[in-house]
Amino acid sequence: MPDTEKQTSENRRQQAQNAPPVLVEVKNLSISFRAGPGLLNIVPDLSFSISQGERLAVVGESGSGKTVTGLAMLGLLPPRHAVLTGEILLEGRNLVGLPERELRKLRGRQIGMVFQEPMSALDPVFTVGQQITEGVRQHFNISRQAARERAVEMLDKVGIPAARKRLDEYPHQLSGGMRQRAMLAVALACEPRLLIADEPTTALDVTIQAQILDLMGKLSEETNTAILFISHDLGAVSEVCSRMLTMYAGQVVEDAMIDSVLHRPRHPYTSGLLRSLPRFGRKGEPLPSIGGRVPPPDTMPTGCRFADRCPHAIDPCHMPQPMLPLPNGDAVRCHRHDELNLPGSVS
């Protein structure tokens, strides 16, 4: 074996030994919804893991299966309509099929979630303080006053000024940025091991967005909380996360470290997403885009699901594409990954 290959193998072995323990492992997860007499499969055979303290991004167009995956991990999909198979292991415990009573013990305490739109996620008829203290008193045997003090502490930690005053205000009395911070306070009040952040900066101006992203990063570092960051904003993802899953039409098509994928994506879809980011110095040039549309769930192709939109597709692409491990530890669902030199966002 050449010296360089030995070195790479040794580096990977050392990284595996020093890696933090796995917190969540999703194995062969399939998510389907009842549609008429049959089932419509939205997410087929999804597998990934999140280590303790890791910040993992899930990116892709709307309809890729990002949000539905996050909701499935918390058991928030409607049981009468959604059918899940496979495993969602939280430190070895399978959450799929867990009774609602057991799931309620986990929500907030082990896994917290920041939903897409804080104005609709926060209940308008309860004060911010009531919505934070409800979860705290649910999971900890403390008095109402102690729970209020915990709520003040959390509002202060997420950067809301005059936290004690804001405690008794209603969501409509807060600005968009403050509502998003309040949502973070609700999600983090019980010190969960994993925070699922679903488009946490949508509809915020760039200044507030930067503050929220910086806050999430700092809180994760201080508490060793893992983050599953669901977004279509690759700029935000690169600020917060260390690893990125690219999802397309319900499948993970690339699993790579952020630094690696920004420089050299291995899947044409990931490359297309990165190339569509606006860049300085390109005034007057058309912004690259990905032609076509995501196929509907009931007409998915049998081979590569991106093949009909891919400029690099050839006949073998219409055969099933497995995830292929790469020497650096990344993985990609494209049999042409070695022969394509795809542009990223960093030249």
Query: What tens digit of pLDDT does each residue of 185-235 get?
Result: 999 999 999 999 998 887 678 888 888 888 888 889 988 999 999 998 888
Residue among 180, 185, 182 nearest 198 (CA): 180
Q: Token pair for residue 235?
A: 């700029």
pLDDT at 285 over 80: no
Query: What percent of the chain stands above pLDDT 70?
Result: 93
Q: How much is the average pLDDT of 126-150?
A: 95
pLDDT band at 17 (very low <50, low <70, confident <90, very high): low
Quick one: which of 79, 85, 72, 77 has its CA closest to 29?
85
Average pLDDT over residues 113-125: 86
258 with 57: CB under 8 angstroms?
yes
Q: How confident is the model at residue 333 (pLDDT cuts 50, 70, 90)?
A: very high
Of residues 11 and 298, the one with the higher pLDDT is: 298
Mean pLDDT of 151-177: 92
**Cβ atoms of residues 220 and 250 within 8 Å:** no
- Check whether 37 has a pLDDT greater than 90: no
Q: Is the pLDDT of residue 1 over 50?
A: no
| pLDDT tens digits for range 258-272 | 999 999 999 999 999
Model confidence at 281, pLDDT cuts 50, 70, 90, reads low
pLDDT at 273: 93
